[in-house]
Amino acid sequence: MAGSNAAAQSKAKDFKAKRGGPIRITSDRLDAYNEQKLAVFSGNVVAVEADRVMKSNQLYIYYKKESKKEDKPKAESKLDSGAGDLDRIEAKGNVRITQGERIITGEEAVFLNDDQKIIVTGNPVMREGGNTIRGDKIIVLLEEDRGFVESSSQSRVTAVIYPEDKDKVKGKK
């Protein structure tokens, strides 16, 4: 099984984080819940960050809760509240994450901002060209250039990998 883990790690390489850029989101609807620090996008959701695209039926964006700052006046603490400080993003329904030629699909995905981690569940599949890797959970560690696929006691990780033709890679026929 070490071979399939190495393949998953190499496939995760192009999902490397490009931190700090804006996330552009389009959808049919947006519901904002300020007290819960939650924004819910629904209907044909597309979120783009650099060259990574996430599509889903719904997208939940959770912001970090304000920390209690007793020593600051209320007006000043509102400015520093971190209202735009992203905690996590949850995508639900027909999730599709693409970056370059790599595609991960599943029913749910969670992006944890502090950990720079994406966890995909619900029949997740990672594809690149004809290569596919399936399991119960696909985890991509964006800043570490690696990922892994987990299975449950009822199923196993499966991979179909097509080795590259060395002559083809070098441009020979």
- For residue 169, the surrounding DSSP H or E stretch is helix 166-169
User: Does 15 score more than 90 pLDDT?
Assistant: no
Percent of the chain past pLDDT 70, that is, above it, reads: 73
Please give the CATH superfamily to which domain 2-164 belongs: Lipopolysaccharide (LPS) transport protein A like domain (2.60.450.10)
What is the pLDDT averaged over residues 8-21? Answer: 50
Q: What's residue 165's pLDDT?
A: 63
The domain ranges of the chain are 2-164
Residue 92 and residue 73 in contact, taking contact as beta carbons nearer than 8 Å: no
More confident residue, 70 or 154: 154
- For residue 153, the surrounding DSSP H or E stretch is none
pLDDT tens figures, 54-77: 999 999 999 998 765 554 444 433
* Residues forming beta bridges with residue 97, ordered by sequence position: 54, 104
pLDDT tens figures, 102-143: 999 999 999 999 999 999 999 999 999 899 999 999 999 989
Residue 108 and residue 120 in contact, taking contact as beta carbons nearer than 8 Å: yes
Q: DSSP secondary-structure letter at 90?
A: E
